Structures are given as C-alpha cells and as structure tokens.
A and B are shown apart, each in its own frame.
Chain A
Amino acid sequence: MSKHTTAIFCEAHPEPPFWRVQFETLNLPRPGCFLLADFGGPLREVLFPAGLSAGGFSVLVPPGHPVQRLLPGETVDLLGPFGRGFQTEQVERLLLVAEAHLLPPLLPLLEAAPMVTLVLAAPTRALLPPARRFPPSVELHLITQDGSVGYAGTLETCHGADSPLLEAVQWADRICASCDSAFYPKLARIVRQQRLNPPANFAQALIQIAMPCGVGACEVCRVQTVNGERRACTDGPVFDVLDFGL
C-alpha cells in the first residue's frame, strides 16, 4: 500500500497545555508509530497519534501550531504510518512512564491492558494535565521536581525506597516510556535491578527526535544504542529500553 495518503481535519479544541486536533483517515498509525504531515513548512512534521478511533486519530500540538489554521474539512497531505510502535499485546499490567510534555504518544495506551499505571513527571503541578483527563481505571503516580504534588524529585532521581517508579517496575509485565532520551540508560538500569532477566521488549522506550524523511534516507535520526547506531524512523522510534544501557 502507498504510504502517501491524506487525512481530513475535523476539529481542534484546547486541552491545556496542548490543543487536541482530530483527523479522519483510513491509514491509522499504531501507538508509537508516526505520520509525516505537510503543513506548508520546508519539512514535514512528525505526528504521533494521541488518540485512535475507528475512522481517525487525534494529535496533541502546542498552542499556535499551524494545524490550528486549518478549516474543518480541509485535507492534510500525509506520509506514513512509519516506524515500529509499542507492542502491548497480551499484557495484563501495563506501566506507562512519561514526562508530561512527552506524554501524548502514550495516551492511546491508557486502556491497552486490564491494569494500567501511569508514572508522570513534570517540573511543577501546573504543568501536569488534570487527573480527571485519565480514565478512572488508570492508577496515577505523580512526580514533581518542586514537590508541589506527588513524589518530590524527577524521574532521574526517583529511586528512593518510597519511589513510585521502582515499585511500579516490579509490578508491571510491560513498560512503555516516553521521556527525554537521556533518561533511558537510567531506566534500563532500574529495569535490570528490579527484574531478573527481563525478556526482550519488556520495557519499550519512545525516542522523539527530528525525523525529516521517515524512511531511512536522510540519516538525521540516528540514535546510539548498545548495538551500535540505529535509525529512529525505521528501527524505532520505539526501542527496547535495554538497547540504551547494559
């Protein structure tokens, strides 16, 4: 099937700190996979789905994004879906780990397993989405750098005895993370410490970096892994977190 497709812009509404933008299309990306959208700039923009339904998907974009200038019914030129997404089949206890500004690609997974725990970090309470946005079945653990709500600290420093992250890693049978890539070697260490012989893809990490071509042609998206350099667009953007730390 051609990877050149279109989506119809339906509507956009504020969902602070983002805007949620709804598209209709037949070519639906899996969670963690991405589309390249042409909004008129010199490069296409990477879109990760933040919501999926039968006939379309939604994305979360920052305020002022060019997509807000579209009129309902306008078509957007898309390439994709591309990449290797999250694998969450046959998972009972799913742990999601995210920094608040990188959370959107994990949102389609909030109901991907019977039991879902979300560990969500932000510098301060005001930068966290309100708890009512999440399905009631999701167990939410918050981490704020200033201690304004939840555990005081960052994902990087969240490894004390009372750390919600360590406990959740022990509990989960799958982890999906969307964080700054500098955190992934640390997450790999935590996984190795908390789990004996974690199977491949037990913990999956999404890399969000520039991906101009999406097909492995430009070499802009290379990431360093323990197995050498890989392309985020074709080898990822979801990787086994153990690829980032022995």
Chain B
Amino acid sequence: MINLTINGESITAPEGATILEVARMAGIEIPTLCHHPDLSNVGACRMCVVSVQGARALQTACTTPAADGMVVDTMSEDAVETRKFVLEMLLTDHPNECMTCEVNGDCELQDLVYDYGVKWPEHNGQRHQWEINPDPNPFIFIDRNKCILCSRCIRACNEIQNRDVWNFAYRGFQTKLVAGADQFMLDAGCESCGQCVAYCPVGALYDKMSIGLGRVNQITKVRTTCSYCGVGCNFDLNVRDGRIIRVTSAADAPVNGMALCVKGRYGYDYVHHPDRLTRPLVRAKWLGREAVEERIAAGEWAIFDEAKQRLTHRRPPNDAQTPIPNTQYPNTQYPNTQDLNTQLPPDTFIATDWDTALDVVANKFAETKKKFGGDAFALLASAKCTNEENFIFNKFTRQMLATHSIDHCARL
C-alpha cells in the first residue's frame, strides 16, 4: 500500500494503480476521453492531466502510476486550462451539430465542454469534411467528422474482439480512422459486433439501425439477458414508446461487461418484425372446417395471409441502410370471413389460440408414437432456452416421447 495526497486529501492506495484509478476509488473525478477502464491506456487526449508536485510538466493521470508520497492537484490552473484548451481545439474540428446528433445528451465530449464552460470557437480555418456514412456495413454508421481520434474503437476491436479492423492512418491533422487499408469494414475482417460503437465517446460511430429513432432522454433502458445463447450476456434494451429501438452495452453486466456479439447487439429487430409469429398457426385441415368457420365468425381465429404480410412490411431489398420504418408495425391483418365462403384449402394456416394449437400437437405426438414408436421423433432444442427449459426438454424427449434423438442448435 502507498500513501499519497490528492487535492489535499491523503489517500491510501494499492501499489501499481494509476493516479486516475486511485482518484476515482477515492471519489475524486478526473475527466477523461481516451481512457476506458476496459482498455489499455494511451495518454492521447490529454484531458486527464493533473499537476504532480516536483514533475516537470503536467502528467496524464490515466498513465502515470501513483507513487508513495506523491502530491497531486487535479484542479490546478494549468490542468484546468489545458483541459479547456484541448476541448476548444477538438471543437475547432468538430461539427456544431449537437441539435441533430444521435448521441446528444449521451456524449462525453459534449458533457466535458459543458462542464468546463468552453465556448463554441468560431474560425475560418481548416475543418475535416469527410463523407458521412461512407460504409455499407448494415449495422455500423460512421461520421468521421465527429471523430476525436481517441482510439478507443481501435483498442476495443483489438483488445476485446481481437479483430484488428480499425487503425489510424496518415498522421498529424490528416490522421484518419480507417478500417483495414481504408476499405469497407466488412472487407477488413469486421464481424459487426459493434464493440467499436459501444466504446466511442462521441457520435462518430453509431448503430445504423437506430438512427432517427430516439435519443437518450427519449428512451427507457430495460436491462435484459440476451436470449440468443447460453452465455447470458446482459444489456440494456433502449425502449421508446413500447418499442425497442436500440441495444446498448451495460458496463456492469456481470458476464460480458460491455462486450456483445452481433446477434445480441443487432439481432433484436425480430421483436417488432412483421414476420414474427405472435399467434400459433395451425393448418385448417387439423381443425375442421366447422370449427374454423365458427371461431372466425366469432372473431377468435383468423386466416393467415403470409404473402400479404411480406409484401407490406419487408424492408426494401438491397437497401440495408434504410432503417426499418419508425411506425408501429400493424398487428397481423386477417382477411374477412366472407372470403371463407369461396374457398378454404386444407393447408391454409389459421391463426388460433395456444390451447387449440397445443391440443393439436399433443394429439399428433400421441398418434405418431403409437403408430411408429418413440424413435420416430427427433428433437432439437433452441439456444434461446434456459437451463430449466432444457432440463424439461430433455425429460420430455426421453420420458414422454421415449427417444434419445435430442440435440441442440448451438452446436452450429
């Protein structure tokens, strides 16, 4: 253990921690931009500079190890002025677009500019004019004009995802964040996990599917466990008006931290997808014409018109960049009963209720088992099932259906 003084407060800290870590443990805030606790430290942005007694120059708290007897001032005039200068310089090459920016209210740069009272710097000098959204990646949106070159995305891709898609190219003011050899992301080995987006402190990288759908003050975050596989990653569903508009990492997620895979982060569109089945469908022939006519007339069941669904609600083909329309998907529409009089082919899907559907299935299982024996069945469990569900599934397979033919889709 070492003892040091930060802002006049004496603090005991474990050896090997940086000034930043020690300060934060003691509840003293030091602003950062390029630092992220999950990533290695590079000391690039200069926001975290502090005065250390006896040091020749300001030290970056994120990279300087705390030492015994150190006397640190995190709010010295030099440090504060430097932070203001850094922010001002960043703004001189940043679009003044907070009004329309996706991350308005959720931007580390914006918060620091506000906290440090930095004014918008007017000037006629050079500004970057990169093309906005130049990459066809279906999930990741890029606006380099907002990039502050903190390299967090690069490190996230390299250190967490191990894909090394990103790097800086060129140097000085010309420095540019590039994928591969300045290629499209997918050509540079990107697997669209969106880690880079999650670590971007500003709006330079964003989730393409969420553009225009809601900003942080318009959404509610609902913590959930990913339903795709058994790892059990947690994340926050960003919900606006009862609809999921985005998934964001939850830093405190016990299993996965900020990390997510492409399915967890971007595979949520099925929730509100028009193709999603919200009621069990049973072919008319298993229900009997009479029951069908009766229940449809009563408004309980309906004829399912697959073709019509697809035509109305699919995204235009080959246009990965247009977000799914921000309209409430209308509930599945069913044709009028009058049509029934004309024709009802036996294979027509009827949207029924769960009890009916399960009865049909149970009867069919029983029939099949009786006729052909248990080995006529093979069962495939879903990766989305919980342990408990899988346990039951196993029991059901082996004891009820009496077969060993059971497998799991996560073997893919």
A and B co-occur in one complex: no
Residues of A within 8 A of B (CB): none
